[in-house]
């Protein structure tokens, strides 16, 4: 078996894009039900009773106040988690924020076929964990979420716009001179595609997971697509692919985390190729990774 990195981008037919949510539904059907339940739990919903309407902020409020949230997170990760530098703390704060927001937006699109619009989202900001909560505007009705199947490809474009608005806020406060571009976009890409990794860890076939992941990333622009590199192997007469971060987030340097993540660029092992046996696989993180 030959394993390599840094594959050139693959030309994926545009007709594949509209079918990504349907293909994702196929992965859910092929995985153990626990995987589908973990993914579904990440979808954005209307606010629950514990959220006071006065706490809800439009995107502009999130944008203008995120600097303070980012500072609280960096300080917490340095003091409580033992991150030795601001650079490492910012990288891990970014990782958390991407899972809180980008991951949930991605899951919502994959499950429904409709991308959230930035003006439909409402945010609650906290000075400690969970840091940010995201909901749909409670004034929206079911009719507001009706999807025209003929506009499937347009939803991917709408998704990329929504993601980019939030990514710009992250980049301003956690990128630039704090997190290197390769680490930044690796973290962004992994958070957006982690629903696929959840299903792979719950029994979905790695070849199918990789195929849809590659199509999905290719539709979201060069920077996000470039956050993942693909190792490959020749197996039973065909080429198989496994996703890896382009650059390490440095989580392993924390005293409580002396190991590499399964998609880490520093790891020499490629466990993604192996099918998961048994009913459940994966780690006990909130998003199922």
Cα gap 39→289, rounded to integer Å: 10
pLDDT digits (tens, 9 = 90+) for 50-103: 888 889 999 999 999 999 999 999 999 999 999 999 999 999 999 999 999 999
Q: Which of 264, 163, 273 is nearest to 217 (CA)?
A: 163
Rounded (10°) CA dihedral 95, 140, 156, 178: -20
32 close to 202: Cβ distance less than 8 angstroms? yes
- Pairwise CA distance, residues 211 & 241, whole Å: 8
**pLDDT, tens only, 15-64:** 444 489 999 999 999 999 999 999 999 999 999 888 888 899 999 999 99
Quick count: other Cβ atoms within 10 Å of Cβ 88?
22
Our separate counts of H helices and E strands in the chain read 9, 4
Q: Does an H or E element contain 127, and which?
A: none
Note if the bond before 279 is cis, omega within 30 degrees. no
pLDDT at 13 over 60: no
Q: List, in sequence order, the alpha helices (H) in the chain.
A: 20-30, 33-40, 59-79, 86-100, 102-112, 152-174, 181-200, 206-218, 222-225
* pLDDT tops 60 at residue 152: no
């Amino acid at each position: 078996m030959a394993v390599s990195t840094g594959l050139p981008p693959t030309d994926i037919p545009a007709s594949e894009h509209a079918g990504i949510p349907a293909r994702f539904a196929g992965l859910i059907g092929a995985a153990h039900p626990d995987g589908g339940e973990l993914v579904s739990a990440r979808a954005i919903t209307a606010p629950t009773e514990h959220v006071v309407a006065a706490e809800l902020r439009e995107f502009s409020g999130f944008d203008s106040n995120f600097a303070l949230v980012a500072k609280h997170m960096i300080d917490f990760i340095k003091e409580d988690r033992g991150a030795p530098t601001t650079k490492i703390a910012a990288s891990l704060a970014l990782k958390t924020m991407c899972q809180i927001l980008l991951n949930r937006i991605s899951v919502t699109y994959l499950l429904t076929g409709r991308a959230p619009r930035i003006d439909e989202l409402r945010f609650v900001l906290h000075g400690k964990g969970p840091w940010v909560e995201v909901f749909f505007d409670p004034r929206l009705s079911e009719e507001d979420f009706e999807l025209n199947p003929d506009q499937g490809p347009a939803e991917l474009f709408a998704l990329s716009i929504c993601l980019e608005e939030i990514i710009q806020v992250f980049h301003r406060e956690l990128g630039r001179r704090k997190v290197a571009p390769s680490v930044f976009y690796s973290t962004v890409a992994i958070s957006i595609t982690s629903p696929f990794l959840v299903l792979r860890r719950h029994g979905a076939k790695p070849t199918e997971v990789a195929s849809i992941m590659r199509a999905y990333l290719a539709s979201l622009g060069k920077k996000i697509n470039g956050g993942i590199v693909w190792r490959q192997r020749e197996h039973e007469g065909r080429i198989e692919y496994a996703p890896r971060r382009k650059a390490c987030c440095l989580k392993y340097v924390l005293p409580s985390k002396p190991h590499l993540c399964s998609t880490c660029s520093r790891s020499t092992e490629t466990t993604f190729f192996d099918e998961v046996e048994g009913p459940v696989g994966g780690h006990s993180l909130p998003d199922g990774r």
